[in-house]
């Protein structure tokens, strides 16, 4: 049975193993790095993007070529057959679409002529095709182009 005066404390922070200080110190020779090779050398870390000599992914992907305008904008294209989804009280106004969160600010809206309509619509958009304008005005609606 152990006596109170025989109990020794637990060493909380054991000192680190000092590598490269000779065989008798326990970390000599290869200093725990194994034998030979890039990873055994000083400064011989292999970067995360290295793929074993295979052409790296960043070089396999195509470069983005050509001119890209910094003033490019998105266009929401709405066909006449889908006009009812965006219309509120027979009106399609870009400010309302932005306020309702259906489009983001800076998005331009274009009405295309695919399909038909049965009710008159008041449309205030950035662009409208000729056939769409004709069909809207034929039903008694109005088209206004905004800048």
Total structural domains within the chain = 2
**Residue 116 scores a pLDDT above 90:** no
Asked whether residue 93 falls in the same domain as residue 47, the answer is no
| pLDDT tens-digit readout, 40-97 | 999 888 988 899 999 999 899 998 889 988 888 899 999 999 988 888 888 888 888 8
Decide the pairing of beta strands 108-112 and 122-125.
Answer: unpaired
Q: Phi first, then psi: give them for residue 146, nearest 5 degrees.
A: -105, 160
Confidence of residue 12 (pLDDT cuts 50, 70, 90): confident
| pLDDT tens-digit readout, 25-50 | 888 899 989 999 988 999 888 988 89
Query: Percent of the chain having pLDDT more than 70?
Result: 100
Q: Tell me which residue range forms the domain holding 32.
A: 18-61
Q: Are 16 and 25 in contact (CB under 8 A)?
A: no
The CATH number of the domain holding residue 87 is: 3.100.10.10
**Residue 111 scores a pLDDT above 90:** yes
Residue 123 lies in a domain: yes
Domain boundary among 61, 90, 112: 61
The position carrying tokens 């609606």 is: 141
Asked whether residue 79 falls in the same domain as residue 137, the answer is yes
The 3 state secondary structure assigned to 7-69 is CCCCCCCCCCCCCCCCHHHCCCCCCCCCCCCHHHCCCCCCCCCCCCCCCCHHHHCCCCCCCCC
SS3 137: helix
Asked whether residue 44 falls in the same domain as residue 98, the answer is no
Residue 49 lies in a domain: yes
Q: Between these two residues, 89 and 108, which has the higher pLDDT value?
A: 108
| Whole-number Å distance between alpha carbons of 147 and 143 | 13
Residue 56 lies in a domain: yes
Residue 5 lies in a domain: no
Q: Is the pTM of this model over 0.95?
A: no
Residue 11 lies in a domain: no
């Amino acid at each position: 049975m152990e006596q109170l005066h025989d109990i020794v404390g637990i060493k909380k922070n054991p000192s680190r193993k000092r590598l490269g200080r000779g065989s008798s110190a326990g970390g000599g020779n290869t200093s725990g790095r194994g034998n030979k090779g890039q990873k055994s050398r000083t400064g011989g870390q292999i970067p995360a993007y290295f793929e074993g000599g295979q052409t790296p992914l960043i070089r396999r992907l195509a470069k983005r070529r050509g001119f890209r305008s910094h003033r490019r904008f998105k266009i929401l294209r709405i066909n006449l057959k889908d006009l009812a989804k965006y219309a509120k009280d027979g009106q399609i106004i870009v400010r309302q679409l932005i306020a309702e969160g259906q489009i983001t600010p800076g998005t331009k809206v274009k009405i295309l002529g695919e399909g038909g309509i049965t009710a008159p619509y008041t449309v205030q958009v950035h662009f409208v095709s000729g056939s769409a304008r004709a069909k809207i005005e034929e039903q008694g609606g109005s088209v206004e182009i905004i800048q």
